[in-house]
Amino acid sequence: MKSARAKGTFRRLLAYLLPHKALSLSILGLIAAVNLSALAKPLFIKVLADEFIVPGAFINGQGRSVAVLAFAYIGVMLFGMGAFYLQTLLITKLGMRIACRLREEVFSVILHMPLSRLNHFSAGRLITRTTNDVEAVSELFTDILVSLIKDGILVVGVLLAMVRLSPSLTGWAFLVLPPMTALVLWIRKQIHANWVVLKQITGRLNGFIAENVSGMKIVQLFNGQQAKWREFTRLNDDFYQHALVQMRMHSLSGPSANLFESLATVLILGMGLGAMKAGTADIGGLIALTLYIRQFFVPVADLAESFTQIESALVSADRIFELLEEKSQGERLRQGIALPILRGEIEFRHVSFAYEGEEYVLKDVSFHIHPGETFALVGQTGSGKTTIISLLCGFYPVNEGEILLDGIPIEALSKRDLRRKISVVLQDVFLFSGTLRENITLGDDIPPKVLEKALADSQARGLMDRNPLGFEAEVLEAGVGYSMGERQILSFARALAHDPAIFVLDEATANIDTKTEALIQKALEEASAHRTTLIIAHRLSTIRRADHILVLEQGSVVEEGSHLELMAQGGRYEAMVSGAGAH
């Protein structure tokens, strides 16, 4: 089963060579040239021994000088060196092209993977696929695969040359092959099983480091260094133990091949001396056979030592192909009805939803938002507010009911157009490394006038003016150096710059000071003008001016109305406002 799977993986990898046929054929030609020069070496030695050394002459029976043989030998070796140099250059180029294509395919799958699937993968696993695993597969093409082809051709050439020199002595030499093959297959099995586990540990280790670097402030605030250190050392020790097994198997491969080479050489010399006495062999042929034995077992030893890299590459390829198979479940962003204009009418009709394998988080939720309205969602943590936003953006399909935008079922709409018409400001703002302009435009070609208006409406103009570089100011990874309030304002600017028909705030004022909140309240007034606005907030002061408020509890709608209407009812909303006090 494993063998069949390995063959399938190998065939899929070979398919990446098809777009590079000319380059691959050139490499094969150069490999053949290198091998021919290597196979010629023992023949030169045979001629030198039989025609010049044994007779003790500088000119052989055909009248050729030993100098001619020497120059011919040097010429063949220079030819082999040149071919090897070109082969190395082309192989490196081929490996880099394939690695580049694999990275692009892996990242493309990640970019288009639905959140319902993306949540099944840790960041560490995805990083490992895109970096370590791709690098291991690249090495398969640049080093291992070419070595296998080169060594395979060389082994066949050596066998033919040895049989031509002496079939009987060749047969004696290869009596060592059956036990050697059994040992090699056993080592391969051990290496493969260990590599599968080692790759899994590598993914967990990468994920652990990435997670803790991002959350180091929390770790230090709560004095969690010792606990995290213990967790890290457990993972690290686990990695060390499996890496040690890998090195033991790798270390066993080379010496084993050398042992069998020595045994084969002893058999050739022992039986060859008897053949020389019987007059059926000569000294030159015997020397050539011992050199060919060396040429035969060097690639065999290389193959044994390459098992670690081969198994690493195949396991990595399996993991990459496993991820690439997610492409079939990727989002079809252009599929569906185009939305050149969206008025901003939103309707949820008896919507129920549960995340995969979990209980329902929304239960028979219905509401209707008219174009240009400001609509608020309130409720305790876990009541389903953020889930409503995820469903509105088309990240998950509903289990029951339907969602309509301008009267059209959301699943019938093009997701690309849908998300272009909706801008979301989240509680936790993410800034990418780059410039302020890149963080606001996110690669879209937004006209300067639209950008300037977005800065003014979001109250971000002052932030830009304080930096002499303005739009081109550098942003470090995750927005390091910008306060929570500044990041939130930049998030407003990003949302408004894309000129959405529907503007969504998901707890956008939860973690900011009162001064920044006042700026954001002003920005909200500008943003909500002529737009449908959907607000989720714990600070009830943010939603008092909403046209309509929906109160959620455990995934169900329990109250709805305007602020004044809900206060007059004296229900849950009134209790929340009274409990909020100064808010």
pLDDT, one tens digit for every residue, the chain (583 residues)? 455 556 678 788 888 888 888 988 898 899 888 888 888 888 887 777 777 777 776 776 676 778 888 888 899 989 989 998 998 888 888 888 888 888 888 888 888 887 777 777 777 678 878 888 888 888 777 777 777 777 778 888 888 888 888 788 877 777 777 887 787 777 777 777 787 788 788 878 877 887 777 677 667 766 778 888 888 889 889 888 888 887 777 777 667 777 777 787 777 777 777 777 777 777 777 877 888 787 777 777 666 566 667 777 888 888 888 888 887 676 777 788 887 788 889 999 999 999 877 889 999 999 999 998 999 999 888 888 889 998 998 888 899 999 999 999 998 888 888 888 888 888 777 788 888 888 888 888 888 888 888 888 777 777 777 777 777 888 887 677 777 778 888 888 888 888 888 988 887 666 566 666 676 777 677 667 778 999 887 666 678 888 899 999 999 999 999 999 999 998 888 888 887 643 4
CATH code: domain 1-166+281-329 is 1.20.1560.10
- Among residues 287, 316, 312, 258, the alpha carbon closest in space to that of 103 is found at 316
- Among residues 377, 397, 392, 390, the alpha carbon closest in space to that of 553 is found at 377
pTM over 0.85: no
Gyration radius from the chain CA atoms: 35
- Among residues 338, 169, 191, the alpha carbon closest in space to that of 266 is found at 169
Q: Say which amino acid occupies 67.
A: A
CA pair distance 309, 136, nearest whole angstrom: 8
- Among residues 136, 126, 141, 137, the alpha carbon closest in space to that of 323 is found at 126
The secondary structure of 89-109 as a DSSP string is: HHHHHHHHHHHHHHHHHHHHH
Assigned CATH topology for domain 346-581: Rossmann fold (3.40.50)
CA pair distance 238, 233, nearest whole angstrom: 8
- Among residues 402, 397, 404, 416, the alpha carbon closest in space to that of 340 is found at 416
Q: Which long-range contacts (CB under 8 A, 24 or more apart) does 326-330 make?
A: 326/109, 326/113, 326/117, 327/105, 327/108, 327/109, 327/112, 329/113, 329/114, 329/117, 330/109, 330/112, 330/113, 330/114
Instruction: Count CB-CB contacts under 10 A for residue 442.
Output: 12
CA pair distance 545, 552, nearest whole angstrom: 18
Burial class (CB in 10 A: 0-12, 13-18, 19+), 424: buried
Residue with structure tokens 């690439």? 324
Instruction: Count CB-CB contacts under 10 A for residue 387.
Output: 21
Pairing relation of β-strands 400-405 and 548-553?
A: unpaired
| Whether the Cβ atoms of residue 66 and residue 105 lie closer than 8 Å to each other | no
Residue with structure tokens 């050596």? 158
User: Crossing angle of helices 484-497/448-457, nearest 10°?
Assistant: 140
Determine which helix (DSSP H) or strand (DSSP E) holds 553, and give its type and residue range: strand 548-553
